[in-house]
Amino acid sequence: MRALILLALLASALPLLGIERFPPPDFSGGHEIPQTVVPESRARTQAWVDVAALALGLGLASWISLRLRSRKGLVILSLAALAYFGFWRRGCVCAIGSVQNVALGLADPGHAVPLAVIAFFSLPLLVALVWGRGFCAGVCPHGAIQELVLLRPLKVPHWLDQSLRLLPWLYLALAILLAATGGLFIICKYDPFVGIFRMGGPRGMLLLGGALLLLSMFVGRPYCRWLCPYGALLGLLSRVSCFRPSVTPDHCSRYRLCEDACPHGAIQPPTGGFPPRDPDARARLLLRVALVPLAVLVFGWLGGKVGLASVAWHPTGKLAEQVAMAGAGTLPDPAPDEIVAWRHAGADRNALATAVADLEERSLLLGRLLGALFGVVVAGHLVRVRFPRATADYETDPADCVSCARCFSACPYERVRRGEVVDLGEEGGARA
C-alpha cells in the first residue's frame, strides 16, 4: 500500500518537474512586463459619433446648397468639416477609402467590414441619389481643403478637362481590383492629403499633397475632378438625382456670368431655343450602339492583362517572385523576412504554386470585368462630350457639379431673388 501511495505522489509531481526543466526567464534586469491593453468601447462610440457627424453634415450641405443657395453657408460648413474630419479625426474614417473595405468584404466573406465603414460608404451615395453631390459641397475634407485655398481660378481647356475626368474611373477600377484580391489599399496608401491632416508621413506623399494644394490655388479642385475615385461614383448617381442645384430656377439672361464663375467646368451652355431641340439624339444612339461593344472588348482584354500584372503586388505574388529568385541564386543576402517565414513554415512549393494559380485566375476574371465596365464608361463619356444634351439655359452638369454655390451669386436673377438688386435693366443687367 505504501508503494502505491509513493507512486501516486511521484506521478502527481511529474508535471512540476517538467515545468522546472524550463524555468521562467529572469526579469531582474529592469525589464517590465507590458500590461495587456483591452480596446475600450470608446472607440466604437467614436465611430458612431463620426457617422452622426457625417449624416448631419450631409443634411446641412443639401439644405444650404438647394434651399438656402448660400455660398457663405457652405464655406462655414467646409471649415467645420475640415477641422473635424480632417485635422481632428486625421482623415479616417474616410468615405473615399471605404470603397476598398467594401470591395474586399464583397470578395472575401471572411473579411468583416465594420458598420461604421459601411455607413461612410453608403450615406453619401444615398444622398447623391436624391440631392446630388452634397458630400462634395461641404462635408468631404479633401474637397474642403482644396476649395478653401482657391484664390484665382483659371479656366482649363474643355477637351483637357473632359479627358482627365476619365482618370478617377481608372483609379477606381484599379483600387477595387487590388482590394478585392487582398493585395493593397492604394487609395489609403497614396492619399495626398492624409499626411497634411496628420502633419506627418512619407516625404513623397507630403510633397504630392503640397503640390496639389498649390495647384488648387489656381485650378478648381484638381483632386476631386481628376483623381477622386469616390467622386466618380457620386457623379454617376447624381445624374439620376431627384433634386439638383440649378443656376437659374426662374429665368436665364444668358450673360455667361455663371459659366465664368464656375471654377470646375460644370456649367453647360445652352444649345438651342426654348424648348430645346435635340437634333443629335439619333446620332448619339447610333454612336453608343457602335462604341459600347468595341470598348467592352478592348478594355476587357486590357483589364485582364492588368489583373495578371497586379498579382505581383499581392503578398503571395511577391513571395512567389522571391522564391523564384532564391532558386536562381539572385535573392539578396540576407533573405527577406517573407522567405524566412515561408521556410520555417515548411517551404511547400506546391502549395505556393496552387495559391498563385488561384490568385491569377481571380485577378484575371476580375480584371476583365472591371475593364469591360470601364469600357462602358469611356464609350458613354465620349458620346456625352461629342453630343452634349440639349438645354435652353445655362445649367449645371449633375455629374461634374460639386454644389459649391459660386454660380448662384453670379446670376443676376438670383441676386434679385435675394433682394440684393432692384432692377435688371432693359437688357437683363443687374443694377443696385
Q: pLDDT tens-digit profile of 88-135? A: 999 988 999 999 999 999 999 889 999 999 999 999 999 999 999 999
Could you tell me the end-to-end alpha-carbon distance of the chain, in angstroms, rounded to an integer? Answer: 117
Question: Can you tell me the mean pLDDT for 408-426?
Answer: 71
Instruction: Give residue 12's pLDDT band: very low, low, confident or very high (50, 70, 90).
Output: very low
pLDDT score for 19: 43
The shares of helix, strand and coil residues in the chain, as percent rounded to the nearest 5, are 65, 0, 35
- Of 69-73, 181-185, 252-256, 325-329, the poorest mean pLDDT is in 252-256
CA-to-CA distance for 421 and 419, rounded, in angstroms? 6
CA-to-CA distance for 414 and 249, rounded, in angstroms? 8
pLDDT exceeds cutoff 60 at 27: no
Amino acid 258 reads C
Residue bearing the bigger pLDDT, 13 or 222: 222
Q: Are strands 267-268 and 395-396 parallel, antiparallel or unpaired?
A: antiparallel
pLDDT exceeds cutoff 70 at 41: no
pLDDT exceeds cutoff 70 at 424: no
Give the Å distances, CA to CA, from 178 to 110, 143, 310, 332. Answer: 17, 25, 7, 27
CA-to-CA distance for 168 and 419, rounded, in angstroms? 40
Instruction: Give residue 429's pLDDT band: very low, low, confident or very high (50, 70, 90).
Output: low
**Which of 17-26, 105-114, 120-129, 268-277 reaches the highest mean pLDDT?**
120-129
Give the Å distances, CA to CA, from 300 to 113, 368, 378. Answer: 29, 4, 12
> How high does pLDDT run on average in the chain?
85
Question: Can you tell me the mean pLDDT for 180-188?
Answer: 93
3-state class of 397 per DSSP? coil
CB 103 within 8 A of CB 180: yes
3-state class of 66 per DSSP? helix
CB 394 within 8 A of CB 249: no
Q: pLDDT tens-digit profile of 215-262? A: 999 999 999 999 999 999 999 999 998 887 777 656 676 778 888 889
Instruction: Give residue 5's pLDDT band: very low, low, confident or very high (50, 70, 90).
Output: very low
Q: pLDDT tens-digit profile of 384-405? A: 887 777 777 778 888 999 989 8
Question: H-helix or E-strand containing 285?
Answer: helix 281-309
pLDDT score for 2: 45
The radius of gyration computed from the CA coordinates of the chain, to the nearest angstrom, equals: 29
Query: What cell numbers appear for 250 in the block?
Result: 426662374
- Of 81-85, 420-424, 425-429, the poorest mean pLDDT is in 425-429
Question: Can you tell me the mean pLDDT for 322-327?
Answer: 87
> Which DSSP string do the residues of 369-394 spell out, in sequence order?
HHHHHHHHHHHHHHHHHHSPPP-SS-
Query: What cell numbers appear for 380 in the block?
Result: 458613354
pLDDT exceeds cutoff 70 at 45: yes
Helices 315-328 and 337-344, packing angle to 10 deg:
90
